[in-house]
Amino acid sequence: MHSIRPIASISLGWWTLYFALKLALYANDTLSFSPLYNFSLLCFIALPIRSRWVNITRQSIAIILALLLLHHDSYLPPIERLFSQWDLVSQFDGVYLLALAKDFISIDFLLLGFVLFVGYLYLNQILRLSTFVILGMAIASVPSSFWQMSITATPATVISEGQGGMTSGQETPSVAQEAIDTSSEGLTTYINQFFSQQANKTSMLGSINESAKQPNFDILFLSVCSLAWDDLEYSGNIDHPIFKEFDILFKQFNSATSYSGPAVLRILRAHCGQQSHADLFNNNLTQQCSLFDQLARIGFDKEVFMNHDGKFDGFNKHIANNIGNFSPAVDIEALSPSQYAFDGTKIYSDGEILSQWESLAHDKPTVSLYNTISIHDGNRVVGKSGSRLVTYKRQQRILLDDLYAFFQNLKESKRNVVVLLPEHGAAVRGDRMQISGMREIPTKAITSVPVGIKFFGDVSIDNRTQLEIDTPVSFLALSDLLSNIITSDIYQGKSTSLASLTQGLPTTPVISQNSGTTMLEVDEKQFYSFDDKSWTEYRPRNN
């Protein structure tokens, strides 16, 4: 009879490095640690098997399981989310995919692996490292509550959404505080109630009489891809002079999504309260929620132009489905590209396109949507090189400079209202749950965007000093603000104040969605869900 080797003599071999690496990342709070799954994998690897071919098969299976477990213990979104976006990912060109891969595997991670490898080669000759690794796994399996005193949780509170709290635009509205149950059941109830309430809200634009005096000014929406407050802080452009130009500046505007397709739909559907991601594609809601149709009803012509072809992810179709078929107001085909996008398509200079638009003659007041992807992740500048982040910083500065120059030229104009309205941020910082450039989970760092209103031309405003709005708002507040501007007759010689224009704008709790992902904020804590049923607190930094 063959005797079975004692368990104590079994070595994990090279698998020691795998578990040691996971323990090191767990100690740094870069990974979580699932005791049951990790020990199950360890037992599967350590189980004595004499057959060489069975052992080879076992090792092959173990490698696959180890990779899946590594992803499971990471803070990255579920792997099925990658496959659900595969049609879009497959359109990325090879250069961009390589850049993403380089960011995903950090230098620090490779150095840690190298140190562990060399350490294993030397220390394994004098110590049974498997024993120490198993001991470390056992310690990691002990609940953290065992090592520290329990902290009594205080009830979370959020600001109730309301209509009448914004009296001066500079003070936090005095509204009731409601306790929110942050269990999965409580947050699910909260999110359902939110969308139920929002479904009953519409902008004051709908109450403007069609027979009222026709507006004598244009409205231009500058829809900028990949620009959030967090990106501006990272790039050092948060004090760029363009932000001093705005008459009204929203400091807590929630774009409610982190992808361009849904972002443009939320702009075009701003006449209604915040809709769920699924409802954005409900054609029955298009007409009643269309911001541009409401503006057209009271005398504005609709117009669209952009600095790209608009084909990626059906961007043009999203616009056409909400405002009707359109031809770009500015022909970009005659221009030379200044960049190439992540999918290899051409991108044109914002300065050139805006200059051409400025020279257009409009017979009637016009509401225009200009979309730019000049600072989208993965763009490559013609004639220049640099990493993704270096390119982003450089192009962000160029974009802001172009907008600033455009503003200076518009000061000669007599009838323009310009709205800077970014789609979402670029996530250039990244965190332990999403690498730089990943926007699967629409965190506040991605959806909190700088929104500004600038009045040009012959406008009557009392005490014209920039007014900052520091309360949580979203698209409905912007739509109501446009209604206030139109009915105020400030371009008809009737004087008013910025505080009056922002009086009573609706606040909106911070809730954002992508397809299959929801993020909400409660008492300055963020929670996310991939099924709108089970919720997890989002902790982007190691704390």
**pLDDT tens profile 501-519:** 999 999 999 999 999 899 9
Q: Which residue carries 């104590």 as its tokens? A: 8
Using pLDDT thresholds of 50, 70 and 90, give the confidence band for residue 202.
very high
| pLDDT for position 163 | 47
Using pLDDT thresholds of 50, 70 and 90, give the confidence band for residue 61.
very high
**The pairing of beta strand 218-224 with beta strand 525-529:** unpaired
Which residues fall within 8 angstroms of residue 515, CB to CB, at 6 or more apart? 84, 262, 277
Does position 87 have pLDDT exceeding 80, yes or no? no
The Cα 45–Cα 69 span in angstroms is 14
| pLDDT for position 213 | 74
Which is more confidently placed, 284 or 306?
Answer: 306
| pLDDT for position 288 | 87
Does position 458 have pLDDT exceeding 80, yes or no? yes
| pLDDT for position 167 | 42
The Cα 42–Cα 491 span in angstroms is 73
Question: Span 341-346, mean pLDDT?
Answer: 87
Residue 139's identity, in one-letter code, is I
> Of 473, 121, 130, 447, nearest to 270 (Cα)?
473
The Cα 369–Cα 355 span in angstroms is 15
The Cα 86–Cα 198 span in angstroms is 32
Q: Name the β-bridge partners of 157.
A: 179
Does position 350 have pLDDT exceeding 70, yes or no? yes
Using pLDDT thresholds of 50, 70 and 90, give the confidence band for residue 7.
very low
Calculate ∠ Cα 257-235-442, nearest 5°. Answer: 15
Q: Which two tokens stand for residue 428?
A: 């250039």
| pLDDT for position 103 | 61
Question: Span 175-185, mean pLDDT?
Answer: 75
The Cα 301–Cα 218 span in angstroms is 9
The Cα 421–Cα 267 span in angstroms is 9
Which residues fall within 8 angstroms of residue 531, CB to CB, at 6 or more apart? none
Contact 93, 312 (CB under 8 A): no
Question: Span 49-73, mean pLDDT?
Answer: 89
Q: Which residue carries 């599967």 as its tokens? A: 44
Using pLDDT thresholds of 50, 70 and 90, give the confidence band for residue 5.
very low
Query: Rounded to two decimals, what is the model's pTM?
Result: 0.81
Least confident among 83-97, 104-118, 466-480, 507-521:
83-97
Q: Name the β-bridge partners of 511.
A: 520
Listed in sequence order, the DSSP H helices in 302-435 are: 315-323, 350-358, 388-410
Share of the chain above pLDDT 90, in %: 54
Does position 164 have pLDDT exceeding 60, yes or no? no
Least confident among 105-109, 217-221, 343-347, 435-439:
105-109
State CA 308 to chain mean position distance. Answer: 21
> Of 143, 3, 15, nearest to 69 (Cα)?
15
Using pLDDT thresholds of 50, 70 and 90, give the confidence band for residue 93.
low
Does position 161 have pLDDT exceeding 60, yes or no? no
The Cα 403–Cα 405 span in angstroms is 5
Residue 12's identity, in one-letter code, is L
Q: Mean pLDDT across the chain, nearest whole number?
A: 85
Contact 485, 146 (CB under 8 A): no
| pLDDT for position 414 | 77
| pLDDT for position 188 | 96
Which is more confidently placed, 241 or 377?
Answer: 241
Does position 117 have pLDDT exceeding 60, yes or no? yes
Using pLDDT thresholds of 50, 70 and 90, give the confidence band for residue 74.
confident
* Domains, the chain: 14-142 (no CATH), 184-537 (3.40.720.10)
The Cα 280–Cα 291 span in angstroms is 13
| pLDDT for position 13 | 81
Which parts of 427-535 are beta strand (E)? 448-457, 461-462, 467-469, 496-497, 511-514, 517-522, 525-529
**The pairing of beta strand 218-224 with beta strand 415-420:** parallel
Question: Span 420-430, mean pLDDT?
Answer: 94
| pLDDT for position 377 | 84
Least confident among 171-180, 405-414, 435-444:
171-180
| pLDDT for position 49 | 82
Q: In what order do the strands lie in the sheet with 536-537?
A: 511-514, 517-522, 525-529, 536-537
Question: Span 451-472, mean pLDDT?
Answer: 95
The Cα 236–Cα 226 span in angstroms is 15
The Cα 206–Cα 289 span in angstroms is 10
Question: Span 298-316, mean pLDDT?
Answer: 93
DSSP 202: B
Torsion of CA 144, 149, 150, 151, to 10 degrees: -120
